[in-house]
Amino acid sequence: MPRTSTRLTFTVLATGAGVFSMLQSLIAPALPTVQHALHTSQSTATWVMTAYLLSASVFTPILGRVGDLIGKKRTLVAVLVTVAVGCLLAALAPTIGVLIVARVVQGIGGALFPLSFGIIRDEFDAAEVPGSISNLSAVIAAGGGVGMVAAGPIVSALDYRWLFWIPVAVVAMVTLVAVRYVPESPHRAEGKVGWLGAGLLSAWLVALLLPLSQAGVWGWGSAKVIGLFAAAVVLFALWLLAEARSAHPLIDLRVMRLPAVWTTNLAALLFGAGMYAIWSFLPGFVQTPAAAGYGFGASVTASGLLMLPMLIAMFASGLLSARLQPLFGAKALLATGAALGAVACGLLTLQHDAQWQIGLVAGVFGLGIGLAFASMANLIVGSVPPSQTGAATGMNANIRTIGGSIGAAVTGVLVTSRLQPTGLPYESGYTHGFALLTTLCLAAALAALLVPTRRVTGTPPGPRAESVVPATAKAEETVHP
């Protein structure tokens, strides 16, 4: 493929994935505004985030597998159209119910991640694949930061509905370019979608993530929370049994058991717990009025600007990882990224009295996110057969999200366990929460050290999909004897 086409394809993939990543965090700072504008309660408004989370978790691995089977470009275009429709519906939503439905539709865009990684693996020369995946991961990571930074100015200058109007225009344009210029991947997996496995996967994910996201409202000891957690355990066991017996599993468990895959996924679970919790609680910390004994009383816009060092650092380190990976290997970068997250959270635990300290912590954590995102994607793509790229990278993204939900939920318990008479948390709650995140990131760094030592580097041009890394053919042989 000519390099110009490769660059255009990458631009389309990066724009689509970046917009979806931005949608994850863009609406969070504006939830109070949405609550007021649509005349709803705080507990109902949180479903704007929960619905998106559940939808993305369900559709990311399923549509990643569908792309492996029927064609990644075809699935990519369908997903982009769906995201544009979801954003349009959200921009026009007259009620909170319609907005929640729109967020469910938008969540289908989670499949853009595995589809994009799969297209890069299929269409780019083997020597370009690791660097392109690192660069795409940098865009995905930065997209979440852009959402946090941009939400305040957009809402202040325009209206919260423009948080969706802008993505409508961008995604519509990207869809048209994708139809015309993105090639259809020649590699197709054999078989069909195992719908029993897909249904059970969806069921246990919802049963797990729903109580994690709503436990603060329902109560951790409530029958709904306990019942759903119990259901998640049973459904997960049934899913494992169904996938092991299926002739056409949605997620090939033999692939998930590959040493490089399960260790990377373990690191993703732990690092995701720290990362998403920082995204969730650091803005709230800096927005707390100084009268509470901590915090800076920052506005939504000002708190977003304090996160700007994280955005810049994660994008820069993600791009830099493409150059560092051939020298040090993806394993070393993943361990380093998680360790930087632990350093940032440790600093935050000990020192959070000045805004420059928050900016420094955000920057250090951003460096870690950029390195970790890029290396996780490359480790997964380089360790699974081409026919499993979409499903495997989709599950990795899902596992990171599950970790994020667990981390945010447990941190929320620590932060809000004791409240001041004003209803604000005590400073000790945040300190304990930040200490927990330090531990989680440190555990992620240790998990990264378990990844088998093998550098994921570019190889001379040859058969594109099969020669991404030397072990790929071996993985194919192991998984499909």
Query: What residues contact 477, with CB distance under 8 A and at least 6 apart?
Result: none
Cα(13)–Cα(370) distance, rounded to whole angstroms? 18
Q: Return the pLDDT at 472.
A: 38
Q: Return the pLDDT at 64.
A: 86
229 burial level (CB within 10 Å; 0-12, 13-18, 19+): middle
Cα-based angle 224, 228, 234 (whole degrees, multiple of 5): 150
Last residue of a domain, one of 223, 249, 275: 249
Q: Are residues 165 and 201 part of one domain?
A: no
Residue 419's DSSP bridge partners are 425
Q: Which domain holds residue 233?
A: 194-249
Count of domains for the chain:
2
| Closest listed residue to residue 330, CA positions, set 466, 451, 441 | 451
For residues 207 and 231, the answer to whether their CB atoms sit within 8 Å is: yes
Cα(202)–Cα(102) distance, rounded to whole angstroms? 19
pLDDT in tens, the chain (481 residues): 444 478 889 999 999 998 988 888 888 778 888 888 998 887 788 888 888 888 888 888 888 888 888 888 999 999 999 999 999 999 999 999 999 999 999 999 989 988 998 899 888 888 888 888 888 888 888 888 788 788 888 888 888 899 999 999 999 999 999 998 888 877 776 767 778 888 998 899 889 988 988 887 888 889 999 999 999 999 999 999 998 888 778 788 888 889 999 999 999 999 998 888 888 788 888 888 988 889 898 887 888 888 889 889 988 998 888 888 888 989 999 999 999 999 999 999 999 999 999 999 999 999 999 899 889 988 998 888 877 777 788 888 888 888 888 888 888 888 887 888 888 889 999 999 999 999 999 999 999 999 997 644 443 333 333 333 333 333 333 333 3
Cα-based angle 452, 474, 470 (whole degrees, multiple of 5): 70
Residue 189: inside a domain: no
For residues 410 and 353, the answer to whether their CB atoms sit within 8 Å is: no
Q: Are residues 231 and 169 part of one domain?
A: no
Q: Are residues 230 and 264 part of one domain?
A: no
Q: Return the pLDDT at 477.
A: 35
CATH number of the domain within which 288 lies: 1.20.1250.20
Query: What residues contact 309, with CB distance under 8 A and at least 6 apart?
Result: 359, 360, 362, 363, 366
Q: Return the pLDDT at 265.
A: 93
Residue 124: inside a domain: yes
Cα(310)–Cα(27) distance, rounded to whole angstroms? 18
Cα(186)–Cα(10) distance, rounded to whole angstroms? 17
Q: Return the pLDDT at 454.
A: 60
Q: Are residues 395 and 451 part of one domain?
A: yes
178 burial level (CB within 10 Å; 0-12, 13-18, 19+): buried
Cα(452)–Cα(64) distance, rounded to whole angstroms? 25
Residue 425's DSSP bridge partners are 419
Q: Are residues 380 and 361 part of one domain?
A: yes
Q: Are residues 419 and 327 part of one domain?
A: yes
Last residue of a domain, one of 249, 267, 284: 249
Last residue of a domain, one of 232, 249, 266: 249
Q: Are residues 165 and 294 part of one domain?
A: yes
pTM, rounded to two decimals: 0.81
Residue 54: inside a domain: yes
Query: What residues contact 303, with CB distance under 8 A and at least 6 apart?
Result: 29, 152, 283, 286, 287
Q: Are residues 347 and 202 part of one domain?
A: no
For residues 23 and 86, the answer to whether their CB atoms sit within 8 Å is: no
Q: Are residues 243 and 373 part of one domain?
A: no
Residue 156: inside a domain: yes
Q: Would you state the structure tokens that stand for residue 49, as one six-digit string?
A: 């985030």
Q: Return the pLDDT at 367.
A: 94
Q: Are residues 301 and 245 part of one domain?
A: no
Residue 394: inside a domain: yes
Residue 133: inside a domain: yes
Q: Would you state the structure tokens that stand for residue 265, as one six-digit string?
A: 């996924």
**Three-state secondary structure call for residue 425:** strand
The type of residue at 382 is G
Residue 187: inside a domain: no
Q: Are residues 402 and 258 part of one domain?
A: yes
For residues 33 and 151, the answer to whether their CB atoms sit within 8 Å is: no
Measured from the Cβ of residue 117, the count of other Cβ atoms closer than 10 Å reads: 31
Q: Are residues 237 and 133 part of one domain?
A: no
The type of residue at 338 is A
